Amino acid sequence: MSEIKITGTIKLINETQTFESGFKKREFVVTTKEQYPQDLKIELIKDKCDKLDSFGEGQEVEVSINLRGNEYNGKYYVNLQGWKIDVIQAAKQTQVANTAQSNNDIF
């Protein structure tokens, strides 16, 4: 499956949930920026849960996800499982800084 990225603003960050088995997951919601914005719940699991500690509600982010599906008692479910999250504004600033540096190298 090809890489899927979701771009939007963090609307909600939940606390980490720990289950009796030791499994951990943390959910957050990203609101997309399109004609009809969507609120998408994304989950991080295991050691990825701590990635959200450096993010806050209202930040624009790009999240790389995997689609996960399963069947339970005859019903089918789909989860968006995140594995990478980046702040969009920082990426743009880095690009601008790199372009400026490259231009300075020419002269």
- Which CATH number does the domain housing residue 25 bear? 2.40.50.140
Q: CA triplet 5, 82, 45: central angle to 5 degrees?
A: 175
**Those residues with Cβ within 8 angstroms of residue 52's Cβ, 6 or more apart along the chain or in another chain:** 13, 26, 28, 44, 85
Domain count, the chain: 1
Instruction: Provide the b/e sequence for 65-79 (b: ≥16 CB within 10 Å).
Output: beeeeeeeeeeeeeb
**Domain boundaries, position 34:** 4-106
Q: Report pTM.
A: 0.77
| Amino acid (1-letter code) at residue 28 | F
Would you say 82 and 64 are in contact if contact means Cβ atoms under 8 Å apart? yes
The pLDDT of residue 3 is: 79
Span 78-90, pLDDT tens digits: 999 999 999 987 5
